[in-house]
Amino acid sequence: MKSSTNWPMKTECLRKNVFCLRGLAVGYIGFLILLPIAALGASAFHSGPGAIWRETTLLRSMASLKLTFILALMTVILNIFTGTATAWVLVRYEFPCKKFINGLIDLPFAIPTVVTGIMLVVLYGPNSMIGAVLGRFGLEIIFNQPGIVLALLFVTFPFVIRAVQPVLIEMEKDLEEAAMTLGASPFQIFFKVVLPTLLPAILTGAALSFSRALGEFGSVVIVAGNIPFKTLTAPVYIYGEIESGNLTGATSVSLVLLTLSFSILVLIHFIQRWSRCHETD
Amino acid sequence: MKQIWMILLCLCLLFGCGRTKQPSEQPVTLTLGAFTVPKEVYQKQIIPAFCAHWKQKTGRDVRFEQSYEASGTQSRAIQSGFEADIAALSLEKDIDAIEKAGLITHDWKNNPGEGFVTRSIVVIAYRPGNPKNIKGLEDLAREDIDVIYPSPKTSGGAMWVVNTLYGAGLKIAELKTGHKNSALAKKFLKSVQKRVKVMDKSGRMSVTTFENGIGDALLTYENEALLRQKQGYLFPFMVPEASILIENPVAVIDKNVEKHGNRKAAEAFVDFLYTKESQMAFAEYGFRPIDDTLALKLKETFPRPEILFDIHYLGGWDNIQKILYSNEGIWNEIINELANEN
Amino acid sequence: MKRTNPVKFWAQRLSLRHVLTGMVLLWVLLLILFPLGGMFQKVLAAEPVSCLKSLLAPSARLSFKLTFWLTLGAVILNTFFGLVIALILVRQNFRGKLLLEGLIDLPFAVSPVVTGFMFITLFGNNSIMGHFFDEKGIRIIYAFPGMMLVTLFVTFPFVIREIVPVLKEYGVEQEESAYVLGASSWQTFRKVTLPSIKWGLLYGITLTIARSIGEFGAVLVVSGAIINKTQTATLYVHQQFTDFNYTGAFAAASVLALISFVFIMMIQFSQKKVKGGTWE
């Protein structure tokens, strides 16, 4: 017969485990995540807040931040619609090759960003079939802002979809069915029943897309013209400042970009918590 | 299912491990940090030739570790801890920066080429048949021409290009009025910059962009154009009416050779770059030789532009860095002005 | 004979379902399949012999080997620490939990260029840490350790983010029962917790693998791109491209994409299918 559990020893053991685990976690995160960010911050303040302000408010650095923000926003808005629709189709409908398509969603993670840029230039550039056709209508995608949005759409493709899918799967259909029996149209059901449940997930995916789009480098540097004020995004601007030895400039804009992306993520966390609290009503 | 995972894991481990050959005797290892453009000539000709030469001279093998990145990137990498024994860069100022950081302690200019191992000029590449009838640098300011060159922020090659345009402006003013007029030079540079639609990260990428159908004219190193022709591609180019003399420096990095104990081999390599054999190899790949007699012999391959000036005409790298590329410099002014005008 | 209006004809047959599916498929086609297809087509159009030759070249093989070791390291370390952190996050309560959640998502907010730049600032020649390691003779940046750190940074969130929702859903009852019945923490973890998060864990590992294989910007800045030594597969692709060796570049890129794709597809097909859904 098994002896009864020795509770004092068990709790002591568990407590030791807890501290062990916490220590490990804190150590890892501290070393891997916090330390590099702190180094960046330290290097920024080493140059002095005045220099940081001056570098950040340079016309061309502000222009790159503004451009990045606007293009990322456009990407996110497109992703919200197409991502939700794609998730809906993948969860609710059946069609041939569904598993294949579902696997493809994660593929942008696997493609090196530089390859994405090259692919887009080769396929939609002026020398290509499509590029030539569009060129006749005066539409130039590659090396212009639409090309940047295209690259950003590619690399941020999975975020909204993968955030929304689990929620859709979890969702119980009885609320929708109830609404249907009460005479609601499909659109009404979607907007009043489904969408509110999906909203936190959509926002999470949107925030991740936005952060990724703000920071995207490898594909944008190839697909954009990199002309200051017109097609020069913040990450490419930062890279240029690093390469030309202006480390203060690079550090300042990096910090601004980082703060912007991180704030969006934190905001979404708060929205999620708030929505969870209200869910229990 | 579990079995499939196990098989996959085993396959990965097998693939990942591989076999490494154990050297019988430790060869000397030299690490070369170079800019991107001379990669082919170093890898295919000069390094194998040096290995044979060293083996013959000392009976030992020498192994090379090579990195080819943009000149500025390589310079920063070496300053930040990349342990290159020899730096072969595009811009003199990039070697000076390494020297200022304390990594080079000898007088690296004290040799036959005064520290420079290859030369080149800026050329204009155009579409076959020259449909837009481009005749020289001044045509690049025309409204109907789209110009390509890389960004001076990230590419050493682009700095040579912008220096050429600015210097050409100064020269033209000097020929007309008798003295350098920086306002006229700025106007010329601005008029060409206005025609630029794409600024790639590096010289190589801008050649790729040009080949992908963008632009009517590409400003690039002469040796890049010659290399492309050597590789069998139709790449017509012209020597413009004015160009800066591009001179690429090489230096042994004292701190690293002291640490690695391979100073003799490193210095021998740098000396080797000045031999006739190496200079011929450079010439084959489109670089103008430092050696004057050889340059004379190859006059046909490397025609001289009407106006040829060097970095000293512009006051040296420190001066041009301040005038053109600093935050208050002319190039940034031009960028801001062009943005406001649009 | 009644004339059928074609628009009305199709409108009657096509429901919203079909239209939506069609539009989504078109979107996926244009955005994902088309560029990918173009890339594979370029590879297939080239001579297979020259493709194979470039893939088997020493620098190609060594770059793939390097990517392999970096990926393996990222998977092992981030899975282990990911599990630890996820368990703490879900099963324990402490001050600063919100901060922890934020920190986990931080790598998503950092641009690859900035990631590389941060580690150079931290471990470069002119830093405290840099001098410390230099004295010991250990190379961090421009060598394998630096690349490993950067890969760990960018792949940090994946495993955690996949396990946390599952752990939250799962609840503690079964674990508590196990404790009451006398199981040790380790036994509980191995036999109760782990099986329940199996699919989330595997999916997180797959994403870690895919991201680690494809990482470019950060590794570019931090590696020095020393051929045959610190050149990963993605840096090799970049080098091939800038050497005008497009066939070699696309061939290597296709191999990378295929490897990730295989892992992703395996997860897809081996999961127990749940009604209409694509994973548990």
Region of poorest pLDDT, from A3-17, B35-49, B196-210: A3-17
Q: Is the pLDDT of residue C238 over 80?
A: yes
Q: Is the pLDDT of residue B21 over 50?
A: no
Q: What is the 8-class DSSP label of residue B94? A: H
| Residue A109: predicted pLDDT | 77
CB atoms within 10 A of CB C16: 10
C→B contacts (Cβ < 8 Å), by residue, are 61, 65, 68-69, 72, 120, 123-126, 130, 134, 139, 141-142, 224-229, 239, 241-244, 266, 270
Q: CB B68 to CB C239 under 8 A?
A: yes
Distance CA A144, CA B197 (A): 9
Q: CB A227 to CB B201 under 8 A?
A: no
Residue A161: in which H helix or E strand, if any?
A: helix A157-170
| Residue B22: predicted pLDDT | 40
Q: Is the pLDDT of residue B73 over 70?
A: yes
Q: B76 to chain A: which residues are within 8 Å by CB?
A: 242-243, 245
| Residue B219: predicted pLDDT | 95
Tell me the one-letter amino acid at B179.
H
Region of poorest pLDDT, from A200-209, B8-17, B79-88, B286-295: B8-17
Q: B198 to chain A: which residues are within 8 Å by CB?
A: 143, 225-227
Q: Which residues contact A165 (CB under 8 A, 6 or more apart)?
A: A87, A90, A91, C277, C278
In this complex, is the C-beta atom of C207 within 8 Å of any C-beta atom belonging to chain A?
yes
Distance CA B247, CA B290 (A): 9
Residue A129: in which H helix or E strand, if any?
A: helix A129-136
| Residue B8: predicted pLDDT | 64
Region C238-251: mean pLDDT is 82
Q: Is the pLDDT of residue C58 over 50?
A: yes
The 3-state secondary structure of A76-121, one letter per residue: HHHHHHHHHHHHHHHHHCCCCCHHHHHHHHCHHHHCCHHHHHHHHH
The beta-carbon neighbor of C24 closest among A22, A86, A120 is A86
Q: What is the 8-class DSSP label of residue B304? A: P
In this complex, is the C-beta atom of A2 within 8 Å of any C-beta atom belonging to chain C?
yes
pLDDT band at residue C13 using 50, 70 and 90 as cut-offs: low
Q: Is the pLDDT of residue B181 over 90?
A: no
| Residue A272: predicted pLDDT | 77
Q: How many CA atoms lie within 13 A of A273 on its CB side?
A: 10
Residue A92 to chain C, least CA–CA distance (Å): 6
Q: What is the 8-class DSSP label of residue A190? A: I
A94 phi and psi, to 5 degrees? Answer: -115, 140
Region A6-21: mean pLDDT is 67
Distance CA C185, CA A23 (A): 17
Per the model's pLDDT, the better-predicted residue between C45 and B282 turns out to be B282
Q: What is the mean pLDDT of chain A?
A: 84
Q: Is the pLDDT of residue B51 over 90?
A: yes
Q: How far is CA B207 from the centre of its chain?
A: 13
Q: CB C217 to CB A218 under 8 A?
A: yes
Q: Is the pLDDT of residue A7 over 70?
A: no
Strand partners, C14: none
Q: Is the pLDDT of residue A280 over 80?
A: no
B 26-85 residues with CB below 8 A of A?
70, 72-73, 76
pLDDT band at residue C175 using 50, 70 and 90 as cut-offs: confident
Q: Is the pLDDT of residue A216 over 70?
A: yes
Q: CB C121 to CB A43 under 8 A?
A: yes
Read off the pLDDT of residues A78-102 as tens digits, 9 standing for 90 and up: 999 999 999 989 988 888 888 888 8
Per the model's pLDDT, the better-predicted residue between A152 and C16 turns out to be A152
Token digits of residue A267: 């905001």
Q: Is the pLDDT of residue B15 over 60?
A: no
Q: What is the mean pLDDT of chain C?
A: 82
pLDDT band at residue C277 using 50, 70 and 90 as cut-offs: very low
| Residue C9: predicted pLDDT | 67
Read off the pLDDT of residues C226-235 as tens digits, 9 standing for 90 and up: 777 788 999 8
Residue count of chain A, please give it: 281
Region A67-82: mean pLDDT is 95
Full-model pTM? 0.84
Q: Which residues contact C253 (CB under 8 A, 6 or more apart)?
A: A111, A112, A115, C39, C237
User: Do C114 and A258 form a contact (C-beta atoms < 8 A)?
Assistant: yes
Residue A216 to chain C, least CA–CA distance (Å): 6
User: Do B197 and B190 form a contact (C-beta atoms < 8 A)?
Assistant: no
Read off the pLDDT of residues B276-320 as tens digits, 9 standing for 90 and up: 999 999 999 999 988 888 888 888 888 888 889 999 999 999 899
Region C16-39: mean pLDDT is 85
Region of poorest pLDDT, from B65-79, B191-205, C44-58, C67-81: C44-58
CB–CB contacts below 8 A, A to B? 71
pLDDT band at residue B7 using 50, 70 and 90 as cut-offs: low
| Residue A180: predicted pLDDT | 81
Whole-complex ipTM: 0.82
Sketch the domain layout of chain C as residue ranges.
51-275
Residue C235 to chain A, least CA–CA distance (Å): 9
3-state secondary structure of A238: helix
Q: DSSP letter string over chain C?
A: -PPPPHHHHHHHH--HHHHHHHHHHHHHIIIIIHHHHHHHHHHHHS-HHHHHHHHHSHHHHHHHHHHHHHHHHHHHHHHHHHHHHHHHHHH---TTHHHHHHHHHHHHHS-HHHHHHHHHHHHSTTSHHHHHHHHHT---TTSHHHHHHHHHHHHHHHHHHHHHHHHHHH-SHHHHHHHHTT--HHHHIIIIIHHHHHHHHHHHHHHHHHHHHH--HHHHHHHTTBTTTS--HHHHHHHHHHTT-HHHHHHHHHHHHHHHHHHHHHHHHHSPP-TT-S--
Region A260-272: mean pLDDT is 84
Distance CA B335, CA B339 (A): 6
Distance CA C32, CA C39 (A): 11
Q: Is the pLDDT of residue A281 over 50?
A: no
User: Do B166 and B244 form a contact (C-beta atoms < 8 A)?
Assistant: no
pLDDT band at residue C2 using 50, 70 and 90 as cut-offs: low
Which of B98, B38, B48 minimizes the C-alpha distance to B68? Answer: B38
User: Do C197 and C167 form a contact (C-beta atoms < 8 A)?
Assistant: yes
Q: What Cα–Cα distance (Å) separates residue C99 from each residue in A26, A208, B35, C180? A: 12, 17, 44, 33
The beta-carbon neighbor of B197 closest among A143, A244, A246 is A143
Q: Which contacts qualify for A100-103: CB closer than 8 Å, 24 or more apart?
A: A100/C265, A101/C25, A101/C28, A102/C268, A102/C278, A103/C261, A103/C264, A103/C265, A103/C268
Q: Is the pLDDT of residue C183 over 80?
A: no
| Residue A12: predicted pLDDT | 65
| Residue A173: predicted pLDDT | 78
| Residue B5: predicted pLDDT | 63
pLDDT band at residue B24 using 50, 70 and 90 as cut-offs: very low
| Residue B262: predicted pLDDT | 92
Domain C51-275 has CATH 3.40.50.720: no
Which of A242, A222, A234 minimizes the C-alpha distance to A58? Answer: A234
Cα-trace Rg, chain B: 22
Q: B202 to chain C: which residues are within 8 Å by CB?
A: 242
Read off the pLDDT of residues C61-118 as tens digits, 9 standing for 90 and up: 999 999 999 999 999 999 999 998 988 888 777 777 777 887 888 898 899 989 998 9
Token digits of residue A193: 């029943």
Q: What percent of chain C has pLDDT over 90?
A: 18
In this complex, is the C-beta atom of A197 within 8 Å of any C-beta atom belonging to chain C?
no
Distance CA B45, CA B56 (A): 17
Which of B196, B250, B248 minimizes the C-alpha distance to B222? Answer: B248
Distance CA C192, CA C185 (A): 10
Read off the pLDDT of residues B81-118 as tens digits, 9 standing for 90 and up: 888 999 999 999 999 999 999 999 999 998 888 899 99
| Residue B52: predicted pLDDT | 94
Q: Is the pLDDT of residue B65 over 80?
A: yes
User: Do B84 and B94 form a contact (C-beta atoms < 8 A)?
Assistant: no
Read off the pLDDT of residues B204-253 as tens digits, 9 standing for 90 and up: 888 888 988 889 999 999 999 999 999 889 999 999 999 999 999 999 99
Q: What percent of chain A has pLDDT over 90?
A: 26
pLDDT band at residue B46 using 50, 70 and 90 as cut-offs: very high
In this complex, is the C-beta atom of A129 within 8 Å of any C-beta atom belonging to chain C?
no
pLDDT band at residue B120 using 50, 70 and 90 as cut-offs: very high
Q: C125 to chain B: which residues are within 8 Å by CB?
A: 79-81, 101
B66 phi and psi, to 5 degrees? Answer: -125, 140
User: Which of C59, C69, C142 is the best residue to mutate to test the B interface, defined by the most B CB atoms within 10 Å of its own CB?
Assistant: C142
| Residue C196: predicted pLDDT | 82
Distance CA B167, CA B315 (A): 11
| Residue C273: predicted pLDDT | 40
